[in-house]
Structure 1
Amino acid sequence: MTETPSRRRAPAMEPDQRRAMIVAAALPLVVEYGAAVTTAKIARAAGIGEGTIFRVFEDKDAVLAACMAEVLRPDDTVTHLEAIARDQPLAARLTEAAEVMRGHMDRIGDVAGALASVGRLRRPDLPRTHGDAGGSGDGTDGSDSRNSGTGDDGRAGHGGTRGPLPDREAGLAAPRAALAALFAPDRDALRLPPERLADTFQMLLMASGRPSAPEPLTTGELVDLFLHGALDPAKQHPGSTGTPQAR
């Protein structure tokens, strides 16, 4: 009689690895469904049983909070900023940097916006304003009962979002330092230290990406405006410096 071969089990993961895998699977679903995404959907996307989620997360709110914390992490953004070639002109460096930073802010906006419609999760202090992030699951699609339920304050049961979320300054400091390094090769030609210029450029990027902007600047327009100011030299009166004279 032929023996049926035993099914091989997938190798075990460390809890941190399992958490990262679940968050990676959940992020696109959070963007698509917001807080209404179910843990059953997340489990199917991750290729695991639904119960596995609750071995590393207390409930669905904890998964959503982990998704928000993940997009707030600046690690990948800093890596891309540090990879920008320093031997190209400053304008080209800043154009690349602006694209990287805007991509990071857009990812934050996608997740925060998706979680904002219901208001169950508190929004951390984000670089872009999208209203309070939140939402609730509908408990359908076979989801665990822990997917639903809110406390008296409108936040999730079990005390709402748990775990530390990166604060605004912590999320901005590392990208700002990477931006300063992009200014450094031109230090002798700069009007201000690279650190101050990096801070200003970062704030300009954040302001230009706000949802209420009537006509957002393109990346090229933003970099040109930052480097050369608002006045068009070709349209200034002869002899005009474009700056007020001290009296």
Structure 2
Amino acid sequence: MINTSLGYSEYDNAAYNYRYSDMDGATSFIARGAEIAASKGILLVTSAGNSGNKNWKYITTPADAKSVFTVGAVDASKTIAPFSSFGPTADGRVKPDVVGHGQGVYVIDHVSGLPRLANGTSFSAPIIAGAMACFWQAFPAKSSTEIMDAIRNSSDRYANPSDQYGYGIPDFELAFATLSNAKYSKQMFTIFPNPVENILYLAPDTAAAEVTIYSILGEQIWHATLQQNTIDVSKFPAGMYVLQIDIDGRSHVKTWIKK
């Protein structure tokens, strides 16, 4: 499995520029190289590009390659990031394939070593790639193509893709149920308000459920068996968190923001 962020479109020397018509998955050297890698069974996940609000506007190569899984960006409220590059490919294929959280995400600053917020499809693509790596481990006999198809098919805009969302936000639980022929049960609980300042409410009644809260960096910071359907988060530092709740032998995950 390979995840890449670098995309090519326009250069300092305009003589080397690509045209939108070149975003056909077969023209650029890197798109052809990506197709060779994919033919060997490698699953390639690449960033769509950050040109959505620039003159270029479109995905950059190798995001145009037919066998590459291309990822755009949304924010925490599932709204498309304005910088996320547009599809389709020059030959009319849907791109990006899906979108992931890429606006207002926490990263580690390469200078200070501390977490900070950043924007880019260079962050949404690795998030999706990590989820796909875990997903593939559950179905090791499946090919990279079957894994990509299952995740596309699970996405919330699969029936009505768009030029910037692609097939939308993937639902890995639905994809898992599809490949395992299991009964699919959409997450029945919700958390509100989100963002939250003091009290986080879980509904419906989740008393006696096991709840774990992680930082966006994956550090466990809180765990309890709920006695009621509220959690006091007033002393949590501001930022984004991941809440995992275990109900009836199944784990469900929600992200939330502390103001």
> Does the alignment reach a TM-score above 0.5?
no
Structure 1 length as normaliser, TM-score?
A: 0.24
Q: Which has the larger radius of gyration?
A: 1
Which structure has more helix as a fraction of its residues? 1
Higher RCO (CA-CA < 8 Å; seq separation 6+): 1
Give the number of the structure whose residues are more often strand, by fraction: 2
